[in-house]
A and B are shown apart, each in its own frame.
Chain A
Amino acid sequence: MSETLSVSQALNLAKGSLEKVSATIVGEISEYSDKPGYKAVYFTITDKSAALPCMMWRSVFDKLDLALKQGMLVEVSGFFSVYIAKGRMNFSAQSMRLAGEGDLRLKVAQLARKLEAEGLMSPTRKLPLPAMPTKVAVVTSPRGKAIHDVLRTLRRRFPLAEVQVVGVPVEGDAAPKALIEGIEVAQQAKSDVILLVRGGGSYEDLMPFNDEALARAIVASSIPVVTGIGHEPDNSIADMVSSYRASTPTAAAEHVVPDIRELKMRLANQGKALSAALTNRVERLDNAVVNVRSRALFTDPLFLVGDHLQNLEQSTQRLSIAIPNALRSDVHQVEVLKGRLARIVSTLTSHQQSRLQLLAAQLESLSPLAVLARGYSIAYDDKGYIVDSVYVVEPGDTLDVHVSDGDYHCRVEAKTEKDRMKLDLETDADE
């Protein structure tokens, strides 16, 4: 044992011994060096009171497909070794995987990839959310802040909806099964939308929402599931396969119901739109009536008869011209005829004149005046009748006696009847 060794011999001895010690170690990565061209990657894992330099051959490391970062909790398996050239001990990692939350995250990421490959996260699989749900189911823990955040938000925004609380444990090994049952209860209760929520917690706390069976139950749900799990950066498998992912329970509740203030405003606007539409309708009709009314047919009393009236006026005018024209031609004709007549008359007169003179002479010879000239006279009574009988005037009556050159105004003194009998007979015969 007291044999003196060279440095190399000593370190090789140590190396040989150390390399028989294999171990699996969990630690947090505090330093990490991955320089291109180097045959190995170097990192240090620590806990609260110790640090262990580690190396891993690049050929092994690359197969892990791990992006190492400071602070990551990893589990390495391998053996201790010595770097002879520097006399430094290190741990030669043969394999490495993420530990703790890192491990969980990796598993979740792998599950996410698997489910995504199955198409469970496809946007086309996501159910549309009802614009105005009548029943909102809340699947969450019946204790804690989340349920009250949701209730408060729903009450504030949309008190019309009925809230169906499905209280289930959201942490621990039994949580995934309980959550799945909760979704089923909500479906049986004919909810319109399911809020799957829980308040903030550690990554481990939120692990039930990364459960594969729960993910499949969400996808299988006939009712859209809206998630609000943890806080903003948290993203679970449930979030990925849900119909809508909100960042918090409150945000999820806000998303599934309309805001009553907006509804009231919209109703008010719809009321205005109703009145406006009807008023508009009536105004249009009114305008149409006014338009019709203002047409010439209704405003111009002569619209319908105008043309006829014009025709009539033209006829009248033509008539008023026609009559004088006709008259003029008639007058002319009359003049012509008159001339002809005058000529005829004048020839007639001269022809008849001699005959007339002859007749006048004959007439002259027959005139009683001519008889008077021969010494006869005519007696008239006071009434102007010729006295041709002795019975016409009585003594005392006046007579006018015409002779050829004047009259005698006489009074009858006496009268003598001639042959009485003869006169009576004549009178009888007259009767």
Chain B
Amino acid sequence: MSETQTTIPSSELNNMTFKQASEELETIVRELESNQLELEESLIRYERGVALLRMLQSRLQDAQQKVSVLLGQIEPESDDSIDTTLS
């Protein structure tokens, strides 16, 4: 493995879904904990694990829910329920 191959392109990570990334992270953690990898391989996995972790954490940090309306039109909550929320 050359140096350039171990660095993970951020576009590759950004294209992953949260689920994919966290599943891969979980796999990496388990592999590392199994202690059956060569040290070199461990380091490569560790690096990827850290990259995934950072990406996932930043996604959680910046998460803004996207709401798309496929049918109908959402009406705001009635005054009553807003009042109860506030009180």
Closest chain A residue to B67, Cβ basis = A163
Whether a CB of chain A sits under 8 angstroms from the CB of B4 is no
Whether a CB of chain A sits under 8 angstroms from the CB of B8 is no
Cβ proximity bits A215-235 to B, threshold 8 Å, 1 near / 0 not: 000000000000000000000
Cβ proximity bits B56-74 to A, threshold 8 Å, 1 near / 0 not: 1101100111111111111
Closest chain A residue to B43, Cβ basis = A278
Residues 131 to 157 of chain A near chain B (Cβ within 8 Å): 131-132, 134, 137, 141-145, 147-148, 151, 154-155
Q: Within 8 Å CB of B19, what residues of A? A: 130-132, 134
Q: Within 8 Å CB of B67, what residues of A? A: 151, 162-163, 165
Question: Does the CB pair B42–A278 fall under 8 Å?
Answer: yes
| Stretch from A38-46, A266-274, A301-309, A366-374 forming part of the interface with B | A266-274
Question: Does the CB pair B74–A160 fall under 8 Å?
Answer: no
Q: Within 8 Å CB of A151, what residues of B? A: 65, 67
Q: Within 8 Å CB of A166, what residues of B? A: 70-72
Residues 71 to 95 of chain A near chain B (Cβ within 8 Å): none
Interchain CB contact (< 8 A) of A159 among B43, B63, B73: B63
Closest chain A residue to B42, Cβ basis = A281
Closest chain B residue to A188, Cβ basis = B70
Question: Does the CB pair A277–B32 fall under 8 Å?
Answer: yes
Whether a CB of chain B sits under 8 angstroms from the CB of A263 is yes
Question: Does the CB pair A147–B74 fall under 8 Å?
Answer: yes
Interchain CB contact (< 8 A) of A270 among B25, B60, B71, B72: B25
Question: Does the CB pair A142–B75 fall under 8 Å?
Answer: yes
Whether a CB of chain B sits under 8 angstroms from the CB of A256 is no
Closest chain B residue to A143, Cβ basis = B75
Interchain CB contact (< 8 A) of B70 among A143, A185, A260: A185
Residues 1 to 58 of chain B near chain A (Cβ within 8 Å): 17-19, 22, 25-26, 28-29, 32-33, 35, 37, 39, 42-43, 46, 49-50, 53, 56-57
Task: Decide if the interface of chain A is mainly helix, strand, loop or mixed.
Answer: helix
Question: Does the CB pair A185–B65 fall under 8 Å?
Answer: no
Q: Within 8 Å CB of B26, what residues of A? A: 270
Whether a CB of chain B sits under 8 angstroms from the CB of A280 is yes
Closest chain B residue to A264, Cβ basis = B60
Question: Could you tell me the distance in whole angstroms from the C-beta of B61 to the nearest C-beta in chain A?
Answer: 9
Question: Does the CB pair B75–A274 fall under 8 Å?
Answer: no
Cβ proximity bits A157-192 to B, threshold 8 Å, 1 near / 0 not: 001111111111000000000000110011001000
Q: In the complex the two chains form, what is the Cα distance from A148 to B33 in whole Å?
A: 43
Known: A134-B19, A167-B71, A274-B28. A159 touches B65 (CB 8 A): yes
Q: Which of A159, A189, A280 has the most CB of B within 10 A?
A: A159
Question: Does the CB pair B60–A274 fall under 8 Å?
Answer: no
Q: Within 8 Å CB of B56, what residues of A? A: 267
Q: In the complex the two chains form, what is the Cα distance from A141 to B75 in whole Å?
A: 9
Q: In the complex the two chains form, what is the Cα distance from A380 to B72 in whole Å?
A: 165
Whether a CB of chain B sits under 8 angstroms from the CB of A411 is no
Whether a CB of chain A sits under 8 angstroms from the CB of B79 is no
Question: Does the CB pair A277–B66 fall under 8 Å?
Answer: no
Question: Does the CB pair A132–B22 fall under 8 Å?
Answer: yes
Q: In the complex the two chains form, what is the Cα distance from A160 to B63 in whole Å?
A: 5
Q: Within 8 Å CB of B35, what residues of A? A: 277, 280-281, 284
Q: Which of A182, A271, A274, A285 has the most CB of B within 10 A?
A: A274
Whether a CB of chain B sits under 8 angstroms from the CB of A359 is no
Binding site for B on A (CB under 8 A): 130-132, 134, 137, 141-145, 147-148, 151, 154-155, 159-168, 181-182, 185-186, 189, 260, 263-264, 267, 270-271, 273-274, 277-278, 280-282, 284-285
Binding site for A on B (CB under 8 A): 17-19, 22, 25-26, 28-29, 32-33, 35, 37, 39, 42-43, 46, 49-50, 53, 56-57, 59-60, 63-75, 77, 81
24 of the cross-chain contacts (CB-CB < 8 Å) are: A132-B18, A134-B17, A141-B72, A142-B71, A142-B74, A142-B75, A143-B75, A160-B65, A162-B66, A163-B65, A164-B70, A165-B67, A165-B74, A263-B60, A267-B22, A267-B25, A267-B53, A271-B50, A271-B53, A274-B28, A274-B32, A277-B32, A280-B35, A282-B39
Q: Please list the 6 inter-chain residue pairs (A to B) with the smallest Cβ-Cβ separation, ordered nearest first.
A: A167-B72, A277-B32, A142-B72, A159-B63, A143-B75, A159-B65
New A-B contacts (15) at CB < 8 Å, excluding given A137-B70, A267-B56, A274-B49:
A141-B72, A160-B63, A163-B65, A163-B67, A164-B69, A165-B69, A166-B72, A181-B71, A260-B60, A264-B57, A264-B60, A267-B60, A277-B35, A278-B32, A278-B43
